Amino acid sequence: MSTIRRTAFWGLTVLICASASSSAAAADKLRLLIIDGQNNHNWKEMTPPMKKSLEATARFTVDVATTPDNKAPKDAWDSFRPEFSKYDVVLSNYNGQPWPERVQKALEEYVDNGGGLVIVHAANNSFQGWTEYDKMIGLGWRGNNYGDRVTIDDKGETVRTPKGEGPGAGHGPQHAFTVVVRDSEHPVTKGMPHEWLHAKDELYHGQRGPAQHMHILATAFSAKDQGGTGTNEPMIWVIPYGKGRVFTTVMGHVSGKGDPAIRCVGFQTVVSRGAEWAATGKVTQPIPSDFPTAGKVSLSTSDTDH
């Protein structure tokens, strides 16, 4: 083989290998769908940076499905037909009017058949009265007569408070708070510091629901001097649903562009690792070097432009 032909051959081989490698990398990415469109929080300032931080992990391709707004005519919902089956995991950034029953049933079947679902912050406020959704999220923003409450006491024991007793859902003023990892062996939280400081956010308390098969991964102390309950409230948890997995974090309040809660490296890491686990049951992403510590908040600066 001549030198020119040999060079051309190896050049073509390298090009083919590089193309194959690129195709394999793309195939390895998990397909994630964010659903937004209505929320009592600023979903327009929440979805883009969340999408950007998920894509920055190189683990996901991210699409967005936006519902009609709450003033849209009923027939506007006819075109809202998300194809859940195309995705490995669905992330809800939605808190608004009920979806059409066909969409509700489609989500139930998707998760029951093995799909992953991620619930972020106010998405757990939504769909009161949708029984299967309540089972998927475990706890939601509900009154104290809606279902049981689950907390962790100072000994690390789970406390279940029956419906009708104790507070319903709420939160005090926004503030930075310490997240305490309760299961350091779960794929989502493995490698995280036992305690880390989350940026200024709403600390949810008094969540209510069936909370069946619920496994709490992390909590935060809801201090009474911050309008809280004086106990350890769930911040991150997981629940099986059929063959699928549901991951919830109630952190992530956004009212305007650049709010610190969604810029917190801890929050971003929790969401991306939770999404990977919901999709696959495993987590391959490392804990980033700038993850928050017990005494220091860590804010990302790369997601403020969108």
Give mean pLDDT, residues 186-209.
Answer: 98
Range 3-280 classified under CATH 3.40.50.880 = yes
* CA–CA distance, 88 with 115 (Å, rounded to integer): 6
Domain extents for the chain? 3-280
Whether 306 shows a pLDDT value over 90: the answer reads no
239-242 long-range contacts, CB within 8 A, separation 24+: 239/135, 239/136, 239/137, 239/138, 239/212, 239/213, 239/214, 239/215, 240/213, 241/111, 241/112, 241/117, 241/135, 241/136, 242/111, 242/112, 242/113, 242/114
Q: In angstroms, what CA-CA distances link 265 with 7, 35, 120, 296? A: 47, 22, 15, 11
Instruction: For residue 195, give the H/E element and its range.
Output: strand 195-201
The confidence score (pLDDT) of residue 258 equals 83
Q: CA angle 53-189-40, nearest 5°?
A: 50
Give mean pLDDT, residues 74-93.
Answer: 95
- Write b or e for each residue in 177-206: b if 16 or more Cβ atoms lie within 10 A of its Cβ, otherwise e: bebbbbbeebbbbeebbeebbbbebbbbbb
> Which bin fits 283, alpha (ψ -120 to 50), beta or left (φ > 0)?
beta
> What are the pLDDT digits (tens) for 109-129?
999 999 999 999 999 999 999
> What are the pLDDT digits (tens) for 199-250?
999 999 999 999 999 999 999 999 999 999 999 999 999 999 999 999 999 9
Percent of the chain with pLDDT over 90: 85
Whether 68 shows a pLDDT value over 50: the answer reads yes
The confidence score (pLDDT) of residue 113 equals 98
Query: Higher pLDDT residue, 271 or 11?
Result: 271
Whether 168 shows a pLDDT value over 70: the answer reads yes
Specify whether the CB–CB gap between 141 and 207 falls below 8 A. Answer: yes
